[in-house]
Amino acid sequence: MRLIKFLVICVCWFNPMYTYGSTDLYEELIRVEQQALVEPIQYITILSSEQSVDKSPTSKNLFYKVLLARLYSFHGDVTLAKLTFDSVFPQLPETDTWLRGYWMLYRSNLSLGEGKLPQALKQIDQAIALFVRSNDLKMQIRARTTKAILLLWQEDYKLSIELLEAAYLASKTSQIPNSTMNYVYTGFAAYYTSMSIFDQAIKFAELAKDNVVNNGDVVNGLPIISVLCSTYERAQQLDLANACYEQMIDLSVTVKVPRYLFWGPAGKASVAIKQQDYSTALKLLYLAKSYLPDLAINPAHVVALYNNFAKSFIALNQPAQALEYLARSEELLNQYQRPLNNRYKRNTLLLKAKSQEIQKDFVAANESLWLFIDLVEEAKLSTQQKLEQEARSKFESTQQEIKLQLAEEKLKNQQIELERLEKDAQLQTAYSIIGFLAFVSISIFTFNQHKAFRKSQYRANTDVLTGAPNRRYILDFVLKKLLEREKLFAVAILDIDHFKHVNDKYGHDIGDQALIGFTQTLNEYLSDTDCKFARFGGEEFLVVMPGYDITKAKAFITGLCDLIRATSYTEETISLTSSAGVSQYIKGIQLNAILKQADEKLYEAKNTGRDKVCS
C-alpha cells in the first residue's frame, strides 16, 4: 500500500501538466532571492529602503516585500516579519498563483516558529496547490520537502518519508539546481535524525552543507548547520558537535543573526550535559536564556532549554532549582497544543520525579511517575518510539524503492528504441519473477518489522547501564500481574550503603562497574524463584516477591544481603553492603502506599546502623 501511494505521488509529479514552466519574471526574482540569501543583512537594508520609495503593487515589489519578511524572520525580528507578511498578503493578486505560493511557503516557516503547527500545515498545503497551478516543479519540491519537515513535528513519519522520496526522485530525473536540492537533503537529514539513523542523517546534512558553503547561502546555511550539529550530538559524536556549534556561533556573529546565537550555546550546553560537565552547561544555558526576551523561539526549543537546566541542577543535587525550571516547562506546554507535547511532557515529568525523589517527596514523585505512565499509554500508537520500529524495518526496502525507480528510469531512456515483449510466455515469466520478488520482499519486511518491535520493547523496559529491568517494567508487572488480580506479594527496596563514597574514591567508572556487579548478584539470587527486580533509580533496587508474606520476604531479603556482603565487586575488589526496607501488600491499599512503607523501613535501616533489613 505504501509503495502504491509513493507511485501515485510520483505519477502526479511527472505528469506533463505539472512540468516546470515559470516565466522570465519569476526566474529574475529567484536570482534576486539567491543574492539576498548570501547577504541577508545588506538586503534587509536595500529592500526596506526600496519599499519606502516605491510602493506600487507590482509583482516585483510585492515579491521584494515577501522576501524582506522572510529575511526579517531569519534574523529573528519576528514582529517585523509578521507585520510585513500580513501587510503584503491583501495586495497579492488572486491570479498570481506563483507569488501567493511563495508567500504561503515562507509564512508557514514563521508559523512554525510561533508554535502554530496546524496553521503552518494549512499554509504549506496551500503553497503546494498554488505551485502545482503555476507548473513550477522546483517550487513544488521546496514546498513538499518543507511539508515533510513540518510533519516530523506531529510525528507523521510515514507521509514525511513518502514526500521526501518523491521529491528525491523528481529532483534526480529533472534539471533541478543545487539550491533546490538543499531542501531535499535537509529534509532527509531531519527525517533520519528523528529516526535515530544517524549515518544517513549526517550524510545528507553534509551534502546540504557543502552546497550552501559553495553557494555562500547564509539563510539556508545556518539552519542546515543547526541540523548537522544536533545530529552529531544525538549520534554521540560530541567533539564534532562542539566544533559544529562553535562554527554556528562564529557565523551568527559574522552575519549578526541573534536567533542562532541562542541555538549555539543551547546546543553546546546539551553536549556539556552529555559529558557530565554540568557547571559549564549551566553557564551556556544562562547565555542562551539571555537571548530569549528579544526573540520568538519555538516553544518546544524553550522547553528543551528549561529541561536541560533541570538536568544540570539534578546532577548537582539542587532539586529546588530544577523544579523551578520544570514548572516553567509545564506552563509553556499548557499554553500550546501539538502532538509532540506528549513527548515533552513525558521528559518533563521524569525529571520532575527525579527532583522530587532527591527531596525525599516520594508521594509526589510517584504521582509524577503515574502521570508519566498515563502519557506513555496515551502515546503507544503514535509516539516516535512506535514509529521508529516501523521506520527502521522499512528503511532498507525504502532505499531499494528509490534505487529501483531510478534504475527503471535509466533503462527506459537507454532502451527506448527496443521493442516490447510480444509473446505471452515472456510476459508470464516476467510476472512470475515479479511475484516471487514481491513475496521475498514482503517476507523480509515482516521479519525485520517483528525483530525491530522486539528490540524496541526490550530497550523500553531495560536499564541502559546495568541491563536490569527498569522502573517502568517493574511497576507495570506489579500493576498487571499482582495488584489487578489481588494476589499476595511483598516488596523490598534495597539501597547500596555509602555508594557515594565509592564514586568519590574510585571514580564513576568503577561505580558503574559496581552497579553492574550488584545487578548480577541479584540475578543469580533470584534466578530459581518467581521474584522480579528492577533498578529503581541511582543505587536503589526494587525486589517484588509474589506469594511472600512479610516474614518470608524479610528472611529472603536477609539472605540476599548476606550474599551481597560476601561478594567482591569490580577490579578493585570492593565490598558492598545493602540496607533494605520490606513491606507487604494488604488488600485494598494502593501501590504508592506499599512503596512508601518500604521506603520508610529502608530509612529506618539506614538510620539504625545500615547493612540490615527492616520490616
pLDDT tens digits, one per residue of 137-179: 999 999 999 999 999 888 788 888 889 988 888 887 777 888 8
Q: How would you classify the pairing of strands 574-575 and 568-569? A: antiparallel
Nine-digit cell string for 21: 514552466
Predicted confidence (pLDDT) at residue 572 exceeds the cutoff of 90: no
**In which residue are the cell numbers 519606502 written?**
52
In this prediction, residue 405 carries a pLDDT of 52
Predicted local confidence at residue 460, as pLDDT? 73
The predicted-structure confidence for 211-227, as pLDDT tens digits, reads as follows: 888 888 888 888 888 88
Section 443-452 average pLDDT = 61
- Percent above pLDDT 90 for the chain: 37
Instruction: Kindly state the cell numbers that stand for 428.
Output: 508470464
For the chain, the 3-state helix, strand and coil shares in percent, each to the nearest 5, are 75, 5, 20
Check residue 580 and give its pLDDT.
96
pLDDT, position 251: 84
Number of Cα atoms under 13 Å in the Cβ half of residue 463: 22
Lowest mean pLDDT among 311-320, 389-398, 475-484: 389-398
CA distance 62 to 56: 8
Model confidence pLDDT, tens digit, residues 257-281: 777 888 889 999 999 999 999 999 9
What's the chain's length in residues? Answer: 615
In the block, cell 517476507 appears at 443
Residue 396 has pLDDT above 50, yes or no: no
Residue 422 scores a pLDDT above 50: no
Report the pLDDT value the prediction gives residue 117, as an integer from 0 to 100: 86
Q: Across residues 490-494, what is the average pLDDT?
A: 95
Confidence bin at 389 (pLDDT 50/70/90): very low
pLDDT for the residue 14: 44
Cα→Cα distances 411→4, 14, 415, 609, Å: 21, 17, 6, 80
Provide the pLDDT for residue 11. Answer: 44
Q: How far apart are CA 297 and CA 263, in angstroms?
A: 10
Instruction: Name the strand (E) or helix (H) holding 191.
Output: helix 178-194
Instruction: Tell me the catalytic residues.
Output: 539
Angle (CA) 65 67 68, round 5° = 60
The model's confidence at residue 443, banded by pLDDT at 50, 70 and 90, is low
State yes or no: pLDDT of 397 exceeds 50.
no
Give the per-residue pLDDT at 310: 93
pLDDT (0 to 100) of residue 149: 92
What is the mean pLDDT of the segment spanning 80-90? 92
Q: What pLDDT band is residue 342 in, cutting at 50, 70 and 90?
A: low
Q: Where residue 465 falls among pLDDT bands split at 50, 70, 90? A: confident
pLDDT of residue 417: 45
**pTM listed for this prediction:** 0.58
pLDDT band at 393 (very low <50, low <70, confident <90, very high): very low
Q: What mean pLDDT comes out for the span 40-47?
A: 88
- What is the Cα–Cα distance from 565 to 27, expressed in whole angstroms? 79
Statement: residue 559 has pLDDT above 90: yes
Average pLDDT, the chain: 82
Q: Between these two residues, 209 and 397, which has the higher pLDDT value?
A: 209
